[in-house]
């Protein structure tokens, strides 16, 4: 097992630093005194990087340096990763930029190998932490089943009624995404095992919500963006009738968990950590989310969401996915925000950005 990382070991690089999760990874590292190589595709794109540069003006003990790199350009991270003790790989083609399912698959799996190769070429790598997803965990199970880190998305394939095939990668974004994340995890654990000089581990977030640092974090169809529309009084449109079980985790907790993984003496090669609700209070059906959003923001005239029949939901919601971030709490020492703190901070950041009327 490779050694755990400290701020004295040199810089840490974060890919996808302009993104919602990446930005909070950078902020947490800067708070803990790290020199952070914040990797973005275009360092001149002010709407995506100004909030990162502003961290250097806020008396944090660490330092943020912008660096460039593109997943589809092998070797482009070589400079950014030089002498880095850890690479936290949060950059991905999630589909928000209207990527095709094949591009989602390639950005989340095929191209990850050369990101890892660049990290190894950096010459000081001890930890490679990959932002995987709960998509690499979930698979068809009866209602109420509690998923853990030992579940993999390829389990119980018959539940997909034949859809879980290679042929469907270019046709179905969700299959492309889940398969890619799971394969990337397996590939990097194997590479680390063979190499022996570093450990690879993964963070598996579920529904990530919490404060946005800039308007660019309001990506269409992200969970936070869906909440914005609910605060604007609109129906929740990502699932039929707005019915869904939201298994929420705070973006600040997701960011911090990446650093804790790099620093942990408990985490080892192949360790994976689900980042979801810490207990059932963070698991809410849409109509319950809606009620909480209304309660915490009483000045907002109307909060939209699920199809209702009077005061009751119009139909039953399939009770899944249930899962708790207990392992991250136990092994990494993660302390989590309460659901009220998270929803409040999400709404306040939307109001501050002028995207939801205050």
Ligand X SMILES: NC(=O)c1ccc[n+]([C@@H]2O[C@H](COP(=O)([O-])OP(=O)(O)OC[C@H]3O[C@@H](n4cnc5c(N)ncnc54)[C@H](OP(=O)(O)O)[C@@H]3O)[C@@H](O)[C@H]2O)c1
Helix residue ranges, H only, the chain: 20-31, 46-53, 78-81, 101-105, 112-121, 173-195, 223-231, 251-263, 286-296, 326-332, 339-352
User: Would you give the binding string for ligand X spanning residues 235-274, x where CB under 6 A is met?
Assistant: ----------------------------------------
User: Would you give the binding string for ligand X spanning residues 96-125, x where CB under 6 A is met?
Assistant: xx---------x------------------
Residue 205 binds to ligand X (criterion: CB under 6 A) = yes
Concatenating the DSSP letter of every residue in 278-341 gives SSGGGEEEHHHHHHHHHHH-TTSS----S-EETTEESSPPP---EE--HHHHHHH------HHH
60 vs 30: CA distance, rounded Å: 6
Residue 160 binds to ligand X (criterion: CB under 6 A) = no
Between 20-31 and 46-53, two packed helices, what is the crossing angle to 10 degrees? 20
- The residue with its CB nearest to ligand X is 19
With CB under 6 A, what is the number of residues at the site for ligand X? 29
Of 277-306, which residues contact ligand X (CB under 6 A)? none
CB 71 within 8 A of CB 63: no
Q: Which of 10, 16, 62, 122 binds ligand X (CB under 6 A)?
A: 16
Q: Which of 31, 65, 70, 113 binds ligand X (CB under 6 A)?
A: 70
Residue 211 binds to ligand X (criterion: CB under 6 A) = no
- Cβ proximity to ligand X, 96 vs 160, nearer residue: 96
Of 36-65, which residues contact ligand X (CB under 6 A)? 40-41, 48
- Cβ proximity to ligand X, 94 vs 175, nearer residue: 94
Give me the least distance between CB of 76 and ligand X, in Å please.
Answer: 8
Choices 152-160, 204-212, 259-267, 295-303; region in contact with ligand X by CB under 6 A: 204-212
Length of the chain: 358
CB 146 within 8 A of CB 104: no
Choices 4-12, 85-93, 236-244, 309-317; region in contact with ligand X by CB under 6 A: 85-93
Give me the least distance between CB of 149 and ligand X, in Å please.
Answer: 14
Residue 24 binds to ligand X (criterion: CB under 6 A) = no
- Cβ proximity to ligand X, 56 vs 97, nearer residue: 97
CB 105 within 8 A of CB 169: yes
- In whole angstroms, how far apart are CA 322 and each of 26, 74, 165, 252? 29, 38, 25, 21
Give me the least distance between CB of 267 and ligand X, in Å please.
Answer: 18
Q: Which of 18, 271, 323, 342 binds ligand X (CB under 6 A)?
A: 18
Please give the angle made by the CA atoms of 158, 188 and 150, to the nearest 5 degrees.
45
Residue 219 binds to ligand X (criterion: CB under 6 A) = yes
219 vs 215: CA distance, rounded Å: 8
Strand 207-209, strand 245-250: pairing: parallel
Largest CA-CA distance found in the chain, in angstroms, rounded: 62
CB 80 within 8 A of CB 115: no
Q: Which of 10, 22, 122, 282 binds ligand X (CB under 6 A)?
A: 22
Binding site for ligand X (CB under 6 A): 16, 18-22, 40-41, 48, 70-72, 90-94, 96-97, 107, 131, 133, 205, 207-208, 217, 219, 222-223
């Amino acid at each position: 097992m490779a050694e755990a990382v400290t701020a004295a070991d040199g810089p840490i690089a974060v890919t996808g630093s302009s993104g919602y999760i990446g930005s909070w990874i950078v902020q947490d590292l800067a708070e803990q005194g790290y020199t952070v190589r914040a990797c973005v595709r275009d360092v001149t794109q002010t709407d995506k990087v100004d909030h990162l540069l502003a961290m250097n003006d806020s008396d944090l003990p660490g330092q943020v340096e912008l660096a460039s790199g593109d997943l589809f350009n092998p070797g482009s991270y070589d400079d950014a990763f030089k002498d880095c003790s850890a690479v936290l790989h949060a950059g991905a083609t999630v589909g928000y930029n209207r990527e095709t399912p094949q591009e989602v698959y390639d950005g989340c799996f095929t191209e990850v190998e050369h990101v890892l190769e660049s990290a190894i070429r950096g010459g000081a790598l001890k930890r490679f932490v990959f932002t995987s997803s709960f998509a690499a965990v979930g698979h068809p199970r009866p209602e109420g089943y509690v998923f853990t880190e030992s579940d993999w998305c390829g389990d119980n394939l018959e539940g997909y009624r034949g859809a879980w095939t290679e042929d469907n990668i270019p046709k179905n974004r969700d299959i492309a995404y889940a398969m890619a994340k799971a394969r990337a995890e397996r590939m990097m654990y194997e590479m680390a095992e063979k190499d022996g000089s570093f450990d690879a581990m993964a963070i598996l977030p579920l529904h990530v919500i919490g404060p946005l640092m800039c308007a660019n974090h309001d990506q269409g169809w992200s969970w936070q963006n869906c909440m914005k529309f609910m605060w604007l009084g609109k129906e929740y449109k990502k699932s039929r009738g707005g019915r869904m079980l939201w298994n929420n985790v705070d973006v600040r907790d997701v960011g911090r968990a990446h650093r804790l993984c790099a620093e942990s003496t408990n985490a080892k090669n192949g360790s994976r950590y689900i980042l979801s609700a810490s207990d059932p209070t963070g698991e809410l059906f849409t109509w319950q989310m809606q009620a909480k959003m209304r309660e915490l923001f009483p000045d907002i005239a109307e909060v939209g969401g699920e199809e209702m029949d009077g005061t009751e939901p119009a139909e039953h919601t399939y009770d899944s996915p249930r899962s708790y971030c207990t392992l991250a709490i136990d092994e990494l020492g993660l302390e989590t925000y309460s659901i009220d703190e998270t929803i409040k901070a999400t709404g306040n950041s939307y109001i501050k950005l002028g995207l939801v009327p205050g």
